[in-house]
Structures are given as C-alpha cells and as structure tokens.
Structure 1
Amino acid sequence: MIHRRTAVALVASPLLLSGCGAGAEAAPSRSDDDRPAPTTAAPTSESNTPRPTGIPGLGPRTAAAVPGHAEQVVVARGRGRNSPVSSVILYERDGGDWQAGANWPAHNGRDGWSEHHMAGDLRSPVGVYGLTDAGGLLPDPGSRLPYDHGYGFRSPGTGFEGEPLEGSFDYVVAINYNRRPGTSPLDWTRPMGAGRGGGVWLHVDHGGPTHACVSIAKAHMKQLLRTLDPGRHPVVVMGYADWLAQ
C-alpha cells in the first residue's frame, strides 16, 4: 500500500527559510562537534544476503557500507572534493546483477563534500544513507515512498549564482542524514544535534550549487519518485569520486 501524509501547515519553517541543508542558524553544542559522523545512516540487513560489490566506481569500503538487502542504489558521484558538480545514476539489482539507469547531471554543495558535515559548511555529507520519505510543493506524481504534499516546501529567493530557487522543492526525497526516518522531509528532529546540519535532500535542480543537497532535473526527480520502492530498501551512496572509490 502506498502511504500518504497530510499536507504541511502553512507556517514559516527553518527549511523554508534556509533551503536544503537547513539548520545553519542553529548553534552546535560542543558534544555535537566532537561526535564523529557515521559512515552509513542506512539500516543494516539482518539476513545473509551478500552485499553488492559490482556497482562501478565503488571501492570495497564504500560497497561494504551498502546494506545487503538494498536492491536500489542511487549513486551521487561528485567531480572532486571541492567541486559542486556531480552526476546521479540509479542502479537496480536484478538477481545478482546491477542494472544502471541513465547518467543524470547534478549539483551538490557549493564547496564540495565533507566527511564531517557541519551546519553551514556548504558541503554535502559523504556516506551511505537510506531513502524512506518524500514530499514536495506539487501534488504526488505517483511516488512509492510516503509523500508529504504542502506549502512548507516553498523555496523563495536566489541561489549562489543569482538563479531563482522557486520550484527547487517541487519534488524532494529526504536523505537520511541526521534525521528521523519515517517522517516528513520537513521534520526538524536532528538526532546528532542541530550543529551537524540536516534537511539534506535530493531535489529539483535550480541551475547552481546547493547548500548541502543533491539536485537533478525536475523530470528526473519525477522519474526517481516513481521508481524508488520502499520494498526494495533504496539507499543513496554519495561523495566525490575518489572517496567513493575507497
């Protein structure tokens, strides 16, 4: 059964004001600063299913972090550690083989990638994270993930290169970095503390770098929403190419 959430109330929220990677205005505690970021935030498999190792560009350490029961893997590969330019490919497992989808151009954080993401550092967090929840300003396009439709997904203002941000959150998929899975992408719970950032999403590309999210074209977001299946335990593997190859 496909679940739907009730619309988000029309109220000002930190995500609406800050865009993706929201939380920069919150002061981190010292314990939050010292706590290491997890290599993976995706659930682990309790079965004996072999872990996938055949996705191009993933080294043994990164591949080992992908849960063995994951049958859909979104790979967001950055051009370099300090680059905001990346690409996204959805891999789906068919038996023991991985089938690659199209290679979609993408953007990530303005200053690249971080192994220890902090609120406001303008870098995307590297790692392997579950994809369990979606939403957007536009009505559900046929998402298999629970979809939260509401005005909380407005994205006013301009980006780092002066481009309009309007429409960036028409469709989003929450990346389970420092958030509570099973809730709306707008949920403000930050298990590692506000200082470690949050509100990291896959969302519609606005033609420039993001605060911390990964963005792809609107048509590609719609296709992703219609394809990601909670029964196939989708995850995102994200980072710059050299990090992914470890």
Structure 2
Amino acid sequence: MTDNRALADTVKVLAFDVFGTVVDWHGSIVREMRERYPQVDGDAFARAWRAGYAPAMARVMSGEQGWTLLDTLHRQILEEILGRFGLAHLDEAQRRHLNRVWHRLDGWPDSAPALTRLKRRFTICTLSNGNIGLLTDMARHAGLPWDCVLSAEVFRAYKPDAATYTGVARVFDIEPAEVMMVAAHANDLAAARQHGLRTAFIERPLEFGAGHPKDVSPQAGNDLHCRDLLDLAGQLGA
C-alpha cells in the first residue's frame, strides 16, 4: 500500500466507474420489475440484461458494430431478452420506459455522502461506458454531485480502451499518475494501472444481488482497498 497522505497530495482527480461502484444497478432493476412487472423474476431479469453488456461492448470494440451509445446497446439487449421473460407484448412506450431504468438507478447508501466529502478536496468525475445523457439523468436521480461527467461517448471508445483512461488526464491537463481510478471491478483497475493511473478498489459484494455475492478480496497492484466510498474518503483524508 502507498502512504495515503502522500497519495492524497499527489492525486488531483478521482475518476469513478459508475455501474456497480457508485450505483446499485441490480437492486434498482429488481425494484423496478417488482413494481411494474411483479410476475417476472427481477433478479434473473436484471442479471440477464447485464449479461448482455460484455458481448455488446465486444461487438463495438471489434468493429463488428459501429460506434453505438450505451442506451442503444441496452435497448438491443432488452429486445433479446423480453420474450424469455414473457414480456414480448410490451409496446414501444413501455419498452422505452423500461430501457430508461438505467437512467433511474439508485446510488449505494454511502455514495452521495462520500462524494460530497471527496469533492471538497478532489475533482470528482465519472469515467463510465454510460452515455452523457444517461449519466446526467442518473446523477440528478441519485443526488450524485459530480464536478464533471466523462463518458465513453466523449472519447468514442469504451473501457478498457486506452483512450478512456488517458483521456481523463488530457481533459484536465494533468499527468495520468495524478488521476485515481475508483472502481469495484478488478479488470477496470488493471487497465487503468496499465495506462499510468492510480487505483482504488471498492468492495461491492452485493453488486449482483444477495444471492450472488462477489469475491472482493484485495488485489495486488491497487493503491487502496476500501470497504465502500466513505472508507475511500477516510483513507484519503477527505
């Protein structure tokens, strides 16, 4: 582990992964399904929708599909799974509203208060594959006080493309080592380190729901390992 005081003095920008790290996508979708479509297994539906995420990204990153906003990719995945869950009858308005549940995700309980503390000392921004409109709506819904919303849309590249990580440093005219990537996903942090960023791992054992706990064991290479975002704020002296 790096000395936290020295680390806090070096880092100028905290760049946050959002889905799973800052907001509870699984729990939010389960609640939405319970309220609107109680006949559907919300846990299975949420995980099936999310399971389409990596293959959709791969199609764009390989060039098989042209540059596509995440809202559109979410809609494509939704169309693929509706029939499986007995929802093929939904009309266009219902499908559009359901797809925009990603704009209405709730933050983890620690997220808003921790971000409020952190922004007193650091510039805080998103670094998400979500598109700008999605992330802005989500911030308003969940009370997330970002200084800046950075998205794959800005760089026209999805993480883990180098352009996303180095792009943060370029936007703020600082060195990559002055940016800390904050995420609950080891692969995201590994890619960030590869491009010179500092990294903080956030434990989110219930990202996929209580029935599917994640391994949140410390990973070699990260500068910080934190229980949640309030722990991150404490470790950085915010």
Q: TM-score, normalised by structure 2?
A: 0.27
Which structure has more relative contact order (CA 8 Å, sep 6+)? It is: 1
The structure with the greater share of residues assigned to helix is: 2
Larger Rg: 2
Q: TM-score, normalised by structure 1?
A: 0.26
The structure with the greater share of residues assigned to strand is: 1
